[in-house]
């Protein structure tokens, strides 16, 4: 009898421990599931942020490809090399009309002295006029130097082959054609998109 009471006590004790253990499993499982939900929600927010940035980059690449009439793959390569930062825009210009009446010498042209229908911002030029008052040379002085970004005042918004008119310094009528591109981070020549 003592043995059966002992065995019954052992069985009851084991049953109580087993029951307690089984009751603890759902509580632990519920706690683990809550923790997994928090991790997922945090990961989802990060994923959505990265997805939004990627979609914005894709939209920029498509816009640039359309503006320049080139394949998206070419733009993507230049865009990636440039870190996706259009503020690193490098501009070259071509003089297409010498104008007349400009004061002889070298002059800085900025702001409203550079006029165009869709003029961007931040372009600064050094303009040379000869003794006859004609513009003979134009150099962009606001381009970023090798490997640098112009984060504050940038020459953004200019488009390929945009025509700008130079006014001021007693002259008028000089025109330049804009050619924007990306500056290589190594300080080489600007990329030419072909």
- pLDDT tens for the 194 residues of the chain, in order: 555 665 555 566 566 666 666 566 666 777 877 888 878 887 778 878 878 777 777 777 787 777 777 777 777 776 665 555 554 467 888 999 999 999 999 999 988 888 885 666 778 899 999 999 999 999 888 876 655 554 544 566 677 788 899 988 889 999 999 887 765 555 555 555 44
State the Cα–Cα distance between residues 73 and 85, nearest whole angstrom.
17
Query: Are 95 and 135 a contacting pair, CB within 8 Å?
Result: yes
Determine contact, residues 79/191, Cβ cutoff 8 Å.
no
Q: What's the pLDDT score for residue 29?
A: 73
Burial of 82 (0-12, 13-18, 19+ CB in 10 A): buried
Per-residue confidence (pLDDT) for residue 128, from 0 to 100: 94
According to the model, what pLDDT value does residue 47 have?
Answer: 79
Classify strands 125-129 and 105-109 as parallel, antiparallel or unpaired.
antiparallel
Q: How far apart are CA 29 and CA 32, in angstroms?
A: 5
Q: Report yes or no: 116 and 166 within 8 Å, Cβ to Cβ.
A: no
pLDDT given for residue 180 in this prediction: 76
Task: Report domain extents, the chain.
Answer: 1-81, 85-182
DSSP the chain: -HHHHHHHHHHHHHHHHHHHHHHHHHHHHHHHHHHHHHHHHHHHHHHHHHHHHHHHHHHHHHHHHHHHT--HHHHHHHHHHTTT-GGGEEEEEEEEE--B-PPSEEEEE-GGGEE-TT--B---EEEEE-TTS-EEEEEE--S--TT----SS--BS--TT-EEEEEETTEEEEEEEEEEEEPPTTS-PPP---
What pLDDT is stored for residue 194 in this prediction? 43
> How high is the pLDDT of residue 63?
77
Determine phi and psi for 57, rounding to 5 degrees.
Answer: -65, -40
State the pLDDT at residue 140: 87
155 vs 35: CA distance, rounded Å: 49
pLDDT at res. 66: 77
Question: How many CB atoms neighbour CB 109 within 10 A?
Answer: 22
Q: What is the pLDDT of residue 19?
A: 63
**For residue 146, what are the contacts with CB-CB under 8 A and spacing of at least 6?**
183, 185, 186, 187
Pairing of strands 89-97, 105-109: unpaired
pTM of the model: 0.50
């Amino acid at each position: 009898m003592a043995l059966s009471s002992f065995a019954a006590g052992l069985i009851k004790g084991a049953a109580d421990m087993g029951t307690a253990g089984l009751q603890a499993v759902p509580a632990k499982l519920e706690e683990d599931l809550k923790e997994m939900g928090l991790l997922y929600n945090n990961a989802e927010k990060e994923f959505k942020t990265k997805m939004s940035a990627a979609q914005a980059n894709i939209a920029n690449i498509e816009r640039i490809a359309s503006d320049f009439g080139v394949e998206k793959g070419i733009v993507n390569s230049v865009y990636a090399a440039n870190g996706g930062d259009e503020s690193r825009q490098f501009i070259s210009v071509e003089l297409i009309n010498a104008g007349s009446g400009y004061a002889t010498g070298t002059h800085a042209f900025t702001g409203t002295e550079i006029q165009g229908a869709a003029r961007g911002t931040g372009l600064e030029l050094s303009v040379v006029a000869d003794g006859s008052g004609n513009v003979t040379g134009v150099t962009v002085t606001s381009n970023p130097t090798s490997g640098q970004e112009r984060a504050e005042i940038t020459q953004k918004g200019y488009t390929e082959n945009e025509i700008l008119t130079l006014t001021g310094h007693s002259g008028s009528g000089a025109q330049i054609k804009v050619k924007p591109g990306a500056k290589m981070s190594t300080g080489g020549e600007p990329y030419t998109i072909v």
